[in-house]
Structure 1
Amino acid sequence: MTDANHSVPKAVEIEQRENCYKGFYKLDKVLLKHELFAGGMSRTISRELFVRHDAVCVLPYDPQRDEVVLIEQFRVGALDKAANPWLIEMVAGLIDTDEQPEEIAHREAQEEAGLSLAALWPISRYFPSPGGSDEFVHLYLGRCSTQGVSGIHGLEEEAEDIRVRVWSFSDALQAVKDGKINNAATIIAIQWLALNREEVRGLWK
């Protein structure tokens, strides 16, 4: 279809981009125009853009025992909006080197949970908050053995204090349903596994 109601805008004109803050993360102010669905260009609009490294998240899964490994750690972003800012999450890390996402998945699993992953299954790649951030997430399922997995992990130089726990898949899925797990990447991964679990167990067992 080619009418204006179904055309796909593509043009963006950056008029000015200014860095307002630069620390571990960056904040840019962008003045831009973009193509409109009805045709033509928008007026100049101002947007603040939270610039951060892309992320890799991996849900370790033992297909023999039907168990997942989840971690708990303090998250400052949940400080004002959650009763408990220690969130239940997946293993995750930022792409702040020239490593590939798969390499980071393996390294972070070892650093954060003491896990060796035998294989990775790509789940999804997505923007978690594109209205104000350029972060891009690479999401994986990681094959592992949960035997003997537990303890406190993380890198002292990164101020990481991470508790590792093994969950039955049914308990993890129930925690999503109950809202006990309340971060997007973990919810997406567990729901994906719920939809694809038979196929995964068939190929990985």
Structure 2
Amino acid sequence: MTKPFQFTANDVNVEKRETVFQGFFRMDKLWLTHPRFDGRDMPVFTRELFIRGDATCVLPYDPERDEVVLLEQFRLGALGRDQSPWLLELVAGMNEDGESPEEVAQREGQEEAGLTFEPLEKICDYLVSPGGSTEMIHLYCGRVSTEDAGGLYGMEHEHEDIRAHVVSSDEAIAMIHDGRINNAAAIIALQWLELNRARLRKGWQ
């Protein structure tokens, strides 16, 4: 049996690429071909690609109180579904040129929740929707104190309106199991916390 990853980016031939939309986001159209697993070449086909920069997300966790901070805000992509478009999410922000994910984490922690993370522990990097988007998420858990956490935050000139909630870890984990939290970054981070909670409570205090 052939092992995975026999092909690389060098095996993809992009014959043409053009930007078809440039607004708050950018969309490119590509004409491309690549080898098939059966040895033939794929005929030239077209795809639209959502060009979006990388982002950093952080789950704020207090190991002494065993609590997390979750942010509630409006998300357009959830509008029209059988749920509220106000979601419970992590601290998150887009990575600017020259910024490390750790720098983004600290900047967004202050802007969105008034929090500083010490330390930050890497959870993983993952592609959000690689079938049509370039975005990569850099995911972390950050130690905080939730004693004075919570309240209203966000950059008004960026049309952010954020309420920070302090939630017990048990309740947050229950919310991913019953579907009240259904965005990928929060699900991955809270499932990671469920697996690593005992270690963090012992090692971070």
Q: Is TM (by shorter chain) over 0.5?
A: yes
In structure 1, what is the equivalent of residue 167 of structure 2? 167
Could you list the per-position Cα deviations for residues 98-140 of structure 1 after superposition, in whole angstroms to 9, with x for gaps in the alignment? 2111000011011000111111000010001000101000000
Could you list the per-position Cα deviations for residues 136-162 of structure 1 after superposition, in whole angstroms to 9, with x for gaps in the alignment? 000000110001111110011101100
1:96 Cα shift? 2.6
In structure 1, what is the equivalent of residue 78 of structure 2? 78
In structure 2, what is the equivalent of residue 65 of structure 1? 65
**How far apart are the structure 1 equivalents of 2:155 and 2:79?**
22
1:16 aligns with 2:5: no
1:97 Cα shift? 2.9
In structure 1, what is the equivalent of residue 181 of structure 2? 181
Range with bigger deviation, 152-161 or 192-201: 192-201
Consecutive unaligned residues of structure 2, counting only runs of 5 or more, are none
Query: Cα gap change, 1:97/1:82 in structure 2, threshold over 3 Å: closer, same or farther?
Result: farther
1:109 aligns with 2:101: no
8 Å CA contact 1:176, 1:187 repeated in 2 = yes
1:139 aligns with 2:166: no
In structure 1, what is the equivalent of residue 99 of structure 2? 99
Q: Percent identity?
A: 52
Query: Cα gap change, 1:6/1:118 in structure 2, threshold over 3 Å: closer, same or farther?
Result: closer
In structure 2, what is the equivalent of residue 39 of structure 1? 39
8 Å CA contact 1:7, 1:37 repeated in 2 = no
Q: CA RMSD in A?
A: 1.3
**How far apart are the structure 2 equivalents of 1:79 and 1:60?**
26
User: Which portions of structure 1, spanning 4 or more consecutive aligned residues, are displaced by more than 4 angstroms?
Assistant: none
Range with bigger deviation, 49-58 or 35-44: 35-44
1:44 Cα shift? 0.5
Structure 2 residue matching 1:157: 3-state secondary structure: helix
**How far apart are the structure 1 equivalents of 2:48 and 2:189?**
29
2:129 is aligned with what amino acid? S
**How far apart are the structure 2 equivalents of 1:94 and 1:145?**
24
In structure 2, what is the equivalent of residue 55 of structure 1? 55
In structure 1, what is the equivalent of residue 118 of structure 2? 118
Structure 2 residue matching 1:185: 3-state secondary structure: helix
Which runs of structure 2 are paired with 1:185-196 in the superposition (5 Å)?
185-196=185-196
- TM-score, scaled to structure 2: 0.95
**How far apart are the structure 2 equivalents of 1:50 and 1:6?**
26
Aligned length: 203
1:200 is aligned with what amino acid? L
**How far apart are the structure 1 equivalents of 2:4 and 2:164?**
48
1:193 is aligned with what amino acid? L
Could you list the per-position Cα deviations for residues 160-205 of structure 1 after superposition, in whole angstroms to 9, with x for gaps in the alignment? 1000110000000001111000101000000011011112222211
Consecutive unaligned residues of structure 1, counting only runs of 5 or more, are none
1:150 aligns with 2:153: no
1:19 Cα shift? 0.3
8 Å CA contact 1:32, 1:44 repeated in 2 = yes
**How far apart are the structure 1 equivalents of 2:114 and 2:85?**
23
- TM-score, scaled to structure 1: 0.95
1:9 Cα shift? 2.4
